[in-house]
Amino acid sequence: MQAPNNGQSIGDYRFDAALAESNLCQTWKAFQLSVQRYVGVDYLKPELLADANARPYFIAIVRAQAKVDHPLVSSIIEVVEHDDHHFYAYEWLTDETLQDFIDRSEPLTPKQVIHIVRQIASVAMYLKKHQIASEPLQPWHIHLDSRCHCRLRNLATVGEVEPEQTTADKQSLAKALISLLGENQPGSTRTASLLGFMIDRVDNPLSWQKIDDLAREVESYLSKSQSHEMRHHQTNALAKWAPIAGLAAILAGGTIWAISNRPDEQKPSKAREFTTMIHVPTGAYPLRDGGKMRLQEFWVSAHEVTISEYAKFLATIDMLEEGMNNPYAHDDQPAEKTSHLPDHWDEMYAAAKSGGEWDGRIMSLNSPVTYVDWWDAYAYADWARQRLPSQEEWMTAASLKAFDPNTLAASDWGEVDHSSTDKTPAGLYGLAGNVREWTRKSAINPSNPLASKQFLSCGGSFLKPQRGALTRTWHTDRNTRQADLGFRTVADTPPTK
């Protein structure tokens, strides 16, 4: 049995070009005929088909990669097993790689570098959480689009997670990026300091979580610095910050670089902090439509996101330089969507600050934000270092402590913790009333099983109090915005205290 020839078709795939070869397999650029798209293919070498060790090892790698479910990692499309050939197809990443930038010596701005660090950290933290081992990270595994949004080659493999390799990945990434970092730009010194810590701290390396935290602080500083340049009346004192000393203070639990609100969006005294998150342990939980699903532990916000909290998010977005890409937007967000302002935001926010009436409701800064679409909710969650819950997580949280959510009395419109009857024993408010809440994933509507998946919201609302906490609403469009539609967030790690 021979390896494929250029242009040869096997099943649904035409093998167009051999790209690389390892001891185990050949990597091809192929064309999937049924859907008319390019894919990557890893093809087990024909001479290894009968090998008692190589073939099972190859399949084990495929299974490991198939377990990865992260939006920044290429996904497995199909596995083909046949007596004459074994191969698997995966998403083709068409953008340039970080290695291409290195080969051209093309500089990156501090903001681009920090954005890349944050995205790689997100993937690394996901792999650590799920105990997924991976091949060493190299610059050619990191694909970048014109906005420096990353997609990574799926590097999952068989074996245990090796701390030494994790440290080596941090060093490899930092060395690649520091070679491209533009000099004499706002944030260059701070960014270089962070990359230097990633390279030098071998005996006591920074965790990916700490790297992400520090990168976000640098990102916040950059946004604020750019905003100051655009507003000549604001101080430029932050430009005099001593980078290494400041970064060392953060590592010691000291200084935090914070974004302040715009002068016209000072936080009113009536706004309150809502930081309570409810722990949901790892376990197998009943599903709404029957059966069970095993969920990893997570923490869900006890309250819906408030107008005041959302205003802080908008203040951060507002500080981005005009024409700069939003670092929190979902990769698939439509190009025509250029703002995360909810519908009627100015009127809603003004009424909330004054405690006045709007849209037939008494408003407060502690009322849930509404008129947000799915893209808005996703971006806010990313900014908050959290995410939207899946419907399974939402329903599980509602039923904690063997509670029947159908017994909740729907709350009318009000502040996110105003109702004592719309509160679960675990401490979750507003499931049956106030507002419905966006969830993270699309799903099949069991009442219309032949239709395609749609995104959905969970819970009842003040407009439809009779429907109850276990209500699900399917939406034909993620751009949907409604008067009784908001969201809450979840986290995969315990909230910091």
Q: CATH code at 41?
A: 3.30.200.20
d(CA 137, CA 125): 14
d(CA 465, CA 414): 13
d(CA 90, CA 77): 5
Residue pair 208/124 in contact (Cβ under 8 Å)? The answer is: yes
Residue pair 307/372 in contact (Cβ under 8 Å)? The answer is: no
Nearest Cα to Cα of residue 463 among 437, 438, 433, 486: 433
Would you say residue 436 lies in a domain? yes
pLDDT tens for the chain, 497 residues long, are: 677 889 999 989 999 999 888 889 999 999 999 989 999 999 999 888 888 888 889 989 988 998 888 888 998 888 888 778 889 999 998 779 999 999 999 999 999 999 999 999 999 999 999 999 999 999 999 999 888 889 999 999 999 888 899 999 999 999 999 999 988 888 888 899 899 889 887 777 889 998 988 888 888 777 766 544 544 333 343 334 334 334 444 344 433 333 233 333 434 447 999 999 999 999 999 998 889 999 999 999 999 999 999 999 998 888 775 666 788 999 999 999 989 999 999 999 999 999 998 888 999 999 999 999 999 999 999 999 999 999 999 999 999 999 999 999 999 999 999 999 999 999 999 999 999 999 999 999 988 888 899 999 999 999 988 788 999 999 989 999 999 999 999 999 988 75
Residues 114 and 81 both lie in one domain = no
Check residue 448 and give its pLDDT: 83
Q: Which two tokens stand for residue 284?
A: 């197998």
Check residue 258 and give its pLDDT: 32
Residues 298 and 370 both lie in one domain = yes
Would you say residue 407 lies in a domain? yes
Residues 191 and 306 both lie in one domain = no
Residues 75 and 155 both lie in one domain = no
Would you say residue 83 lies in a domain? yes
Would you say residue 22 lies in a domain? yes
Residues 251 and 291 both lie in one domain = no
Residues 270 and 210 both lie in one domain = no
Check residue 185 and give its pLDDT: 85
Residues 354 and 480 both lie in one domain = yes
Residues 167 and 277 both lie in one domain = no
Residues 395 and 462 both lie in one domain = yes
Tell me whether residue 175 is exposed, middle or buried, using C-beta atoms within 10 angstroms of its C-beta: 0 to 12, 13 to 18, 19 or more. middle
Residues 247 and 304 both lie in one domain = no
Last residue of a domain, one of 91, 126, 142: 91
Would you say residue 115 lies in a domain? yes
Residues 20 and 131 both lie in one domain = no
Residue 190's domain comprises: 96-256
For residue 235, the domain's CATH number is: 1.10.510.10
Would you say residue 496 lies in a domain? no
The residue count of the chain comes to 497
Would you say residue 1 lies in a domain? no
Residues 286 and 168 both lie in one domain = no
Q: Which two tokens stand for residue 153?
A: 């080659």
Q: Structurally, how many domains does the chain consist of? A: 3
Find the helix or strand (DSSP H, E) in which 396 lies.
Answer: helix 391-398
Last residue of a domain, one of 204, 227, 256: 256
Q: Is the pTM of this model over 0.85?
A: no
Check residue 436 and give its pLDDT: 96
Would you say residue 85 lies in a domain? yes
For residue 442, the domain's CATH number is: 3.90.1580.10
Last residue of a domain, one of 204, 222, 256: 256
